[in-house]
Amino acid sequence: MPRSFTEIVDFTTDEIYEVFDLCRRMKSGEINPKPLADKSVACIFTKSSLRTRVSFEVGINQLGGDALYITDREIQLGVRESVYDAAKVLSRYVGMIVIRTFAHSDVTGLAQHADVPVVNGLTDLVHPCQVMGDYFTVLEHKKEKKFKIAFLGDGNNVANSWLNLASRISMDLRIGTAPETPPDAALLERARANKDSSVLITDDPKEAIRDADVIYTDVWASMGQKDQAKEKEELLRKFQVNSALLVGAAADCVVMHCLPAERGREITDEVMDGPHSVVFDEAENRLHIQKAIMTFLLEQ
């Protein structure tokens, strides 16, 4: 079975740092590999996307390959045909599959049955490429140490990927969220099993943010849950990343958001456009990290 990247814990700690090193060397232009030369990549998107779609397509082209954008209209994974059959058929045409969808089990199912690597471009459970690029961005801005990372807001796929990273990389992770919007319990347990990391779940935003090096937020209502927007806004209002809250963080903190942002809800303009914000570096690094992840998988 080829190596796939369905969640961050598919990589060991050493492999994560190998990918960061590849990313750094590709971004600086030191290396320019073409592991996708003469190959096509099926990019299946059953949810909307700006960053993930465009950065994968551009990255695939830069690695010498050809990206095929496929929506759910065409494949209807698990409906028109089984995940198994789709995996086997796609593997006869393409050298890699990138997929963004709802059910995480569709991605692990594809990875289990495909004869080519599968890369997760976001599921309801996790967003692994995002948080790999995010940590790479933190390393570009700060000297590495055991960072204090405060995630504020909905305990959804992005928060879950921070938990996965805490399973592999030592950090002090605080997730500030409402009792009704916690992250995934199994991923939390796995992160807590890494005794080099500490993981706190709190409904006190000030406790979460205290002396934090990194402040992170995400939309309060994710794709597929927009019908809960009003309810989530009420639950999460006090976790808004604004300049009053930022006073409790480290003086040299960086502020991150996976984007798209709902400005004025989970983050204010003055913070998003302020001196601590690295949101657009973060967005750029999606391109570099995904090129590194694809290259790493194709080298295995």
Instruction: Give me the active site residues, please.
Output: 100, 127, 130, 218, 258, 286
Number of shown-chain residues binding ligand NVA (CB under 6 A): 10
**Using CB under 6 A, which of 46, 91, 130, 290 touches ligand CP?**
130
Rounded Cα gap, residues 16 and 9, in angstroms = 9
Residue 261's binding partner out of ligand CP, ligand NVA, none, with CB under 5 to 8 Å set by partner kind = none
156 binds ligand NVA (CB under 6 A): yes
Cβ atoms of 140 and 281 closer than 8 Å? yes
Query: Which residues, listed in sequence order, are joined to residue 66 by a DSSP beta bridge?
Result: 40
Among the candidate windows 37-45, 95-103, 111-119, 155-163, which touches ligand NVA by CB under 6 A?
A: 155-163
Q: What is the DSSP letter of 267?
A: B
The token duo for 143 is: 């000297």
Residue 213, SS3? coil
Give whichever of 101 and 156 is closer to ligand NVA, judged by the CB atom.
Answer: 156
Least separation in angstroms between CB 102 and ligand CP: 13
Residue of 57, 184, 218, 266 interacting with ligand NVA (CB under 6 A): 218
List 39, 51, 104, 113, residue binding ligand CP (CB under 6 A): 51
- Closest-CB residue for ligand NVA? 222
Burial status of residue 252 (CB atoms within 10 A of its CB: 0-12, 13-18, 19 or more): exposed
Q: Which of 4, 6, 52, 222 binds ligand CP (CB under 6 A)?
A: 52
Cα distances (angstroms) measured from residue 243 to each of 180, 239, 268: 25, 12, 8
219 makes contact with ligand NVA (CB under 6 A): yes
Interface with ligand CP by CB under 6 A: which range of 22-30, 184-192, 239-247, 257-265? 257-265
Q: Is 60 or 131 the residue whose CB approaches ligand NVA more closely?
A: 131
Smallest separation (angstroms) from ligand CP to the CB of 121:
7
Q: Which residue is nearest to ligand CP (CB)?
A: 52
Q: In the set 67, 131, 158, 191, which binds ligand NVA (CB under 6 A)?
A: 158
Minimum distance of ligand CP from residue 216's CB (angstroms)? 12
Pairing label, strands 40-45, 66-71: parallel
> Per CB under 6 A, does 50 bind ligand CP?
yes
Residue 35 has a CB neighbour count (10 Å cut-off) of 17
Work out the angle at residue 204's Cα, subtended by the Cα atoms of residues 201 and 207, and round it to the nearest 5 degrees: 80
> Residue 195 CB, nearest distance to ligand CP (Å)?
31
Interface with ligand CP (CB under 6 A), residue from 49, 170, 194, 198: 49
Asked if residues 208 and 176 have their Cβ atoms less than 8 Å apart, the reply is: yes
How far out from the chain centre does Cα 283 lie?
11
Contacts with ligand CP: how many residues (CB under 6 A)?
A: 9
Going by their DSSP bridges, the two strands 254-257 and 198-202 should be labelled as: unpaired
Using a CB cutoff of 8 Å and minimum separation of 24, what contacts does 49-55 make? 49/100, 49/121, 49/122, 50/259, 50/260, 51/259, 51/283, 51/286, 52/100, 52/121, 52/122, 52/129, 52/286, 53/100, 53/121, 55/286, 55/287, 55/290
Q: Which residues contact ligand NVA by CB under 6 A?
A: 122, 127, 156-158, 218-219, 222-223, 258
Q: Which residues contact ligand CP by CB under 6 A?
A: 49-52, 122, 130, 258-260
